[in-house]
């Protein structure tokens, strides 16, 4: 599952990098993916919307067994 999540994140990173940010996979616990937003994304007021509407949506499409993506 980790490899599938990494592949999904690779699809997302270019969009985040255009705005000066990125995302790192910190771990997977069961069906919950833990990520860290970095660069301009860290501390951005829109980061939770990016996390849920963007990152979580794409990961769930690519890896259906994932139930949630959280920022750590």
CB 37: neighbour CB atoms within 10 A?
21
Which tokens in the block code for residue 6?
């990494």
Q: What is the pLDDT of residue 58?
A: 95
pLDDT digits (tens, 9 = 90+) for 4-43: 999 999 999 999 999 899 999 999 999 999 999 999 988 8
Which tokens in the block code for residue 16?
């985040």
User: How far apart, in whole angstroms, are the C-alpha atoms of residue 15 and residue 64?
Assistant: 22
User: How far apart, in whole angstroms, are the C-alpha atoms of residue 67 and residue 72?
Assistant: 16
- Burial of 41 per CB tally in 10 Å (0-12, 13-18, 19+): buried
2-71: CATH architecture: 2-Layer Sandwich (3.30)
User: How far apart, in whole angstroms, are the C-alpha atoms of residue 68 and residue 31?
Assistant: 7
pLDDT digits (tens, 9 = 90+) for 33-62: 999 999 998 888 889 898 998 999 999 999
Q: What is the pTM of this model?
A: 0.91
């Amino acid at each position: 599952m980790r490899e599938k999540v990494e592949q999904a994140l690779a699809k997302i990173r270019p969009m985040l990098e255009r705005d000066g940010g990125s995302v790192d996979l910190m771990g997977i616990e069961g069906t919950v993916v833990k990520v860290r937003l970095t660069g301009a994304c860290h501390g951005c007021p829109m980061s939770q919307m990016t996390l849920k509407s963007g990152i979580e949506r794409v990961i769930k499409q690519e890896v259906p067994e994932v139930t949630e993506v959280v920022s750590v």
